[in-house]
Amino acid sequence: MTGGSGRLASQVACGLAQEGYDIFFTWHQSKARAEATLDELRRHAFGSAMTQCDMASVADIRRAFTEFREHFGRLDLLITAASNFFGTSLGEISEKEWDQLTDTNLKGTFFTMQEGMNLMKEQPFVSRIITITDISANLTWTGFAPYTASKAGVQHLTRIFAKACAPTILVNSIAPGTFTMNPDWNNEQDLEEELRHKIPLKRLGEPAELLSAIRFLAENSYMTGQVINIDGGRLLY
């Protein structure tokens, strides 16, 4: 699982550990948060492990998979959750900002999926890749163009890999809506506005609801190339 120590991803990882998965996850910047996540994982799945990885670096991604192969004998489920997110002004986006968002979100996800596919093809059983994207792939957020373009790109990659990897690797995507406080919101008024006027279910998503979608895709054997939106109805607007 890439980005396994993130705010939402760590809760999902712990939920999977409680269901019997040994978790191998990547982290990038916060070692303390990664170590806390690993400690929690090992309460349920002692064989869990982690490695530092810059998802914008193909060399780092390949090194992480080498470590995975040394630590584990098989890969049942790959979840790509690592992501950069910040707002950008459309008329002033710099090359550095573009690269920071698309190198991690799109390039990093592609090469993670490539490494996972090559490993999974060696296995004599059906395995699964789940990309975590965003409902913004289907929205026109003018203040987040590189981010939303990267997520739309990952959804397209999901369909490409699904077609190429069938029938032994099932590849699907989950696109969450608003699950945690958007870091670009500075006050509760913006959140209240989002809940009141744009989310029909009038609440934020819960980590358990994302976990249930992952569980569904991990168990279903006749679904590939699909995107599941978990957004409280947000895309209806």
Which of the residue ranges 136-145, 167-176, 182-191 would you say has the lowest mean pLDDT? 182-191
147 in active site: yes
- Please check the confidence at residue 208 and state whether its pLDDT lies above 90: yes
- Please check the confidence at residue 29 and state whether its pLDDT lies above 70: yes
pLDDT band at 179, cuts 50/70/90? Answer: confident
Catalytic residue among 21, 147, 222, 237: 147
pLDDT of residue 235: 95
pLDDT in tens, 136-162: 999 999 999 999 999 999 999 999 999
- Please check the confidence at residue 78 and state whether its pLDDT lies above 80: yes
pLDDT of residue 195: 76
Q: What percent of the chain has pLDDT over 70?
A: 95
pLDDT of residue 189: 66
**Contacts with 59 (C-beta within 8 Å, 6 or more apart), sequence order:** none
Domain 7-236 has CATH 3.40.50.720: yes
Angle (deg, nearest 10), helices 108-120 and 58-71:
30
Give the mean model confidence (pLDDT) for residues 186-212.
Answer: 83
pLDDT of residue 181: 58
pLDDT band at 187, cuts 50/70/90? Answer: low
pTM for the whole structure:
0.95
